[in-house]
């Protein structure tokens, strides 16, 4: 009988562990391949305070101690990162929640806006992750969570529905953020959710250095041996990233986001002409090498082949959408080029913005005039997208009327 007691105890422990794993599978957005473990706060009976990065202390704004502090580890391409999450936990206002929607560009815009608002107010900023993140291919059409592939802190991960918010969710528009601000008394009763995309540096300009530092791609997330040859050529030449966004822009909202490749056919010789006006210390002029990135690389090659006899052109992105470079690798390589040409896509915008070359030339496109017709606040978006979206030093071509101008 006494020999049965240890066996019974071991069985009970095993059953408890199995029940815990079943609970994790049921309520976590992360898949089975995600290694997870939990630890209780050292003093769960005491009130905990969290700073703008979610770091615990006893001197900041009060928040109830979550019942569990889950930590989940994901591995992608050998890149391992730990997420500090608040699942099955109660959080108290105030706070800012960055909802991750869209692709790389839109997720970066949303987080930059949320981070800046939280910094101004001295509130914590949370990242809402709505879907599993273990299996991600990062192809051009994919819209997976991607912020962990940048140097963004992952210490305040939540999932609305799995995290209990002791307060209302308060959406706020781009217009209200820019002109109306956030009423502190209202915010004290809930969590602010920036509802637009904040597609302008004006939303976070005072924190731009923080943003640039956090938004560097983690090279651990990339297949560096695969892209090293391209990276070497980009570094040693007068490299120009050319981004051609096509597929979803054609099908969305009757194509109002689409920009004709006539824009690129104007931008390529214009940038070459601008470079030809520059000389190095010995009076030499550099010949540009164009690296083309696209979600439809065959179309891009057909439209740009007229320049093949004048310049070296390297078509980087995968043909057929699979194999070759991932969208994350394309993004990284674009930021490493010395100059950037992009039509209006947030992917291209951030690649140009994060490009660290001090002498860079950026050529981009104005918006399709029909773009403003689908916006809920037409006058505001004509101002935001028409005068605030592009940086002042970028050259903007209007492919719809044939002219171009510098902002």
pLDDT in tens, the chain (407 residues): 555 555 545 555 454 545 444 433 333 333 322 222 222 222 222 222 233 333 433 333 333 344 334 555 555 555 678 888 888 889 999 999 999 888 899 999 999 999 999 999 999 999 998 755 655 555 555 667 899 999 999 999 998 888 999 999 999 999 899 887 788 888 889 999 998 889 999 999 999 999 999 999 999 989 999 999 999 999 999 999 999 976 554 555 455 555 677 889 999 999 999 999 887 767 777 899 999 999 888 888 988 999 999 999 999 987 644 557 889 999 999 999 999 999 888 999 999 999 999 999 999 998 877 766 655 556 777 778 778 999 999 999 988 776 655 54
As given in the structure block, the two tokens for residue 124 are 């914590």
Helix axes 327-336, 346-354, angle to 10 degrees: 40
For residue 70, which phi and psi values (nearest 5 degrees)?
-80, 140
- Tokens 């992750």 appear where? 129
What are the distances in angstroms from CA 361 to CA 199, 290, 396?
20, 13, 11
Give the pLDDT confidence score for residue 91 in this predicted structure.
Answer: 94
Give the pLDDT confidence score for residue 45 in this predicted structure.
Answer: 27
Residue 124 CA to residue 92 CA, distance in Å, equals: 11
Burial environment of residue 143 by CB neighbours within 10 A (0 to 12, 13 to 18, 19 or more) = middle
- Bridge-partner residues for 81, per DSSP? 74
For residue 300, which phi and psi values (nearest 5 degrees)?
-60, -40
Give the pLDDT confidence score for residue 257 in this predicted structure.
Answer: 55
Residue 297 CA to residue 246 CA, distance in Å, equals: 9
Give the pLDDT confidence score for residue 232 in this predicted structure.
Answer: 97
What are the distances in angstroms from CA 74 to CA 154, 188, 362?
12, 34, 35
CA atoms within 13 A on the CB side of 297: 20
Going along the chain from its start, the domains and CATH numbers come out as 27-214 (3.40.50), 222-406 (3.40.50.11350)
Give the pLDDT confidence score for residue 53 in this predicted structure.
Answer: 37
Residue 145 CA to residue 147 CA, distance in Å, equals: 6
Residue 253 CA to residue 234 CA, distance in Å, equals: 36
């Amino acid at each position: 009988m006494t020999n049965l007691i240890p066996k019974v105890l071991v069985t009970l422990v095993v059953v408890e562990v199995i029940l815990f794993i079943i609970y994790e599978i049921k309520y976590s957005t992360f898949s089975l391949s995600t290694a997870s473990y939990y630890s209780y706060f050292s003093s769960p009976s005491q009130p905990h305070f969290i700073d703008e990065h979610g770091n615990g202390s006893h001197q900041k704004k009060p928040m109830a101690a979550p019942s569990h502090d889950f930590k989940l580890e994901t591995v992608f391409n050998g890149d391992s990162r730990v997420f500090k999450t608040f699942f099955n936990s109660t959080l108290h206002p105030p706070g800012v929640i960055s909802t991750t929607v869209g692709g790389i560009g839109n997720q970066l815009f949303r987080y930059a806006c949320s981070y800046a608002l939280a910094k101004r107010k001295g509130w914590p900023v949370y990242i809402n992750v709505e879907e599993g993140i273990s299996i991600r291919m990062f192809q051009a059409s994919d819209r997976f969570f991607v912020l962990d592939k940048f140097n963004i802190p992952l210490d305040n991960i939540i999932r609305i529905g799995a995290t209990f918010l002791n307060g209302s969710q308060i959406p706020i528009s781009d217009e209200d953020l820019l002109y109306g601000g956030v009423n502190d008394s209202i915010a004290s009763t809930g969590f602010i959710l920036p509802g637009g995309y904040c597609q302008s540096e004006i939303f976070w300009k005072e924190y731009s250095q923080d943003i640039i530092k956090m938004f560097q791609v983690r090279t651990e997330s990339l297949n560096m041996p695969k892209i090293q040859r391209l990276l070497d050529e980009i570094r040693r030449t007068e490299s120009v990233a050319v981004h051609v966004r096509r597929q979803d822009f054609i099908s969305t909202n009757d194509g109002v986001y689409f920009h004709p490749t006539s824009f690129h056919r104007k931008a390529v010789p214009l940038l070459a002409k601008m470079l030809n006006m520059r000389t190095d210390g010995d009076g030499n002029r550099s010949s540009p090498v164009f690296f083309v990135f696209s979600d439809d690389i065959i179309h891009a090659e057909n439209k740009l082949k007229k320049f093949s006899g004048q310049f070296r052109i390297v078509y980087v992105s995968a043909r057929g959408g699979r194999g070759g470079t991932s969208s994350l690798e394309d993004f990284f390589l674009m930021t490493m080029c010395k100059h950037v040409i992009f039509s209006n896509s947030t992917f291209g915008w951030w690649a140009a913005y994060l490009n660290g070359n001090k002498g860079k030339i950026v050529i981009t496109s104005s918006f399709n005039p029909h773009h403003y017709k689908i916006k809920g606040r037409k006058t505001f978006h004509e101002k935001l997208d028409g005068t605030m979206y592009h940086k002042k030093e970028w050259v903007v071509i209007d492919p719809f009327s044939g002219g171009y101008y510098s902002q």
